[in-house]
Amino acid sequence: MTPETKPANPNFSSGPCAKRPGYDLATLDTSTLGRSHRAAIGKAALQKAIDDTKSILGLPADYRVGIVPASDTGAMEMAMWNLLGERPVDICAWESFGKEWLTDITKQLKLADTRTFVAEYGELPDFSQTNPTHDIVFTWNGTTSGVKVNNADWIADDRDGLTICDATSAVFAMPMPWEKLDVITFSWQKVLGGEGAHGVIVLSPKAVARLESYQPAWPLPKIFRLTSNQKLIEGIFEGATINTPSMLCVADYQDALDWVVSIGGLDAAIQRSEDNLAVLSDFVEKNEWIDFLASDPTTRSNTSACFTLKLKPDEVKALIKLLEQHQVAFDIGAYRDAPAGLRIWCGSTVETADLKALLPWLEWAYQQVAQ
Ligand SMILES: Cc1ncc(COP(=O)(O)O)c(C=O)c1O
C-alpha cells in the first residue's frame, strides 16, 4: 500500500533549492526590468539587496558585501585569484566543492607553497593543523557530503593570514562566526531558494587591506577585478556591479530576503532548518537501513542532509526513481562524485510538514526495492 499523503511540495533539491513557501513569481517587484542597472532605480535595487543582506545576517559594520558574476563559483574564484599567492596557503577539503578549490589553487594558480588537509566523505579534516600565519581556504558546509564545520575555535582571532570560506549552503541557515572569516561567498539559489546567476562576496577589512597592498603575479580578467590602481573599487559594494546583472534575479533575491524578515529574521530561518533536520534525525534513529553520511552527529549538515542506505547502488537508483514517479521527491540522489545514497535539502524554504510527509514514502520505497 502506498502512503496516503504526498508532500505538498516535493522539491528537495540541494540547489537550486525549493522556493520559499507561498512564492509567486507574479508578486515580484519587476519595476527595474527593462531599465539600465546603472540607472538610479537599478542601482537602488542592488544597494537595497546589499543592505538587507548585511542587516539580516548581522554582518560587522565594516564588512563589505558585493554582488558579482558567476554564482558562488565566481565569487570564490574571484577571491582566490585576487588574494592568494602573498603567503602560504592551507586548503581544507572534505567533499567535491572543497576539492575543486584545491584543484584551482594547486593546478590552475599552481601555487607551490600549499598544504592540503583532505578528509573522506563523511569526515572533517583536522583543522587544528592549520597555521594562522597562512591563508586558509575551506568550505563551511560540504553540500555533497552533508558535513559542516561545527565550530570556529581553530581559527585564531589574531591570525595574520586570511580565512577564505565558501559558505554557499550555510549562509542564512547556520550561525556564522563573521569575525573569524575574512572572505565569505554564497549564491542565491541555495539556502533562500533564489534564482541562480550571481554570487555574493563578503570581505573583512583585512581582506580589503590585502587587496590594496598585494598584486598577484598573474593576469586578472576584468570580470574578476576588485581593485583599480591598487584601490578597492568601492562601487562594486554599493550596487555598481562589474558587469550587467539580471535584475529579475535581483528582484527574486529581494523577495527571498523579505520573506526571511517576514518569518522573524535569521534566527527563525535557522530554526526552521534545524527543525527539518530533527525530523530526519528522528527517522534515522528509528530505521536501521538508513544512516547519515556524517560520522559525527555534531557535524551533520542542517541543510544538505546526506544519507547512506543499506541498498546496492542500483537499488538506491530505483528508490529515487520510484519516489520521482510518484511525484513525492525530486532531485534527492547523492551528488555524482559522492558515495551512493540520498541527499535531502533541509533548508528553511522546505516545510517541515513536507519532510514529514516524505518519510512514509521513503520507507515504502525502501521496502519496494530492497532485495
Ligand atoms: C559548497 C559549494 N560550493 C560551490 C558550489 C557551486 O555553486 P554555484 O553553482 O553557485 O557556483 C556549490 C553548489 O552546489 C556548493 O555546494
| Last residue in a domain, options 261, 287, 312 | 261
Q: All 3 cell numbers of residue 351?
A: 516545510
Kindly state the cell numbers that stand for 195. 534564482
| Any domain includes 277 | yes
> Would 41 be classed as within a structural domain?
yes
Ligand 1 binding pocket mutation candidate from 92, 101, 168, 174 (most atoms within 8 A of CB): 168
Domain presence at residue 134:
yes
Q: Which three cell numbers stand for residue 289?
A: 537501513
The number of domains in the chain is 2
Q: Can you tell me whether residue 342 is helix, strand or coil?
A: strand
Ligand 1 atom, smallest distance to 196 CA: 10
Cα distances (angstroms) measured from residue 21 to each of 106, 255, 259, 353, 364: 42, 12, 9, 12, 27
Kindly state whether residue 63 falls inside one of the protein's structural domains: yes
CATH of the domain at 321: 3.90.1150.10
Choose one of 208, 230, 261: the last residue of a domain: 261
- Report yes or no on 18 lying in a domain: no
Spell out the SS3 assignment of 272-316.
Answer: HHHHHHHHHHHHHHHCCCEEECCCCHHHECCCEEEEEECCCHHHH
Which structural domain, as residue segments, surrounds residue 196?
27-261
325 C-beta neighbours (distance < 10 Å), count: 9
Q: Are residues 255 and 293 in the same domain?
A: no
* Inter-CA distances, 110 with 113, 214, 217, 337, 359, Å: 9, 18, 11, 24, 46
Cell of 215: 598584486
Q: Structure pTM? A: 0.98
Separation of alpha carbons 80 and 77, rounded Å: 5
The one-letter code for the residue type at 327 is Q
Local confidence pLDDT in tens for the 371 residues of the chain: 899 999 999 999 999 999 999 999 999 999 999 999 999 999 999 999 999 999 999 999 999 999 999 999 999 999 999 999 999 999 999 999 999 999 999 999 999 999 999 999 999 999 999 999 999 999 999 999 999 999 999 999 999 999 999 999 999 999 999 999 999 999 999 999 999 999 999 999 999 999 999 999 999 999 999 999 999 999 999 999 999 999 999 999 999 999 999 999 999 999 999 999 999 999 999 999 999 999 999 999 999 999 999 999 999 999 999 999 999 999 999 998 899 999 999 999 999 999 999 999 999 999 999 98
Q: How far apart are CA 138 and CA 182, in angstroms?
A: 12
**In angstroms, what is the span from residue 199 Cα to ligand 1's centroid?**
10
In a domain, 101, yes or no: yes
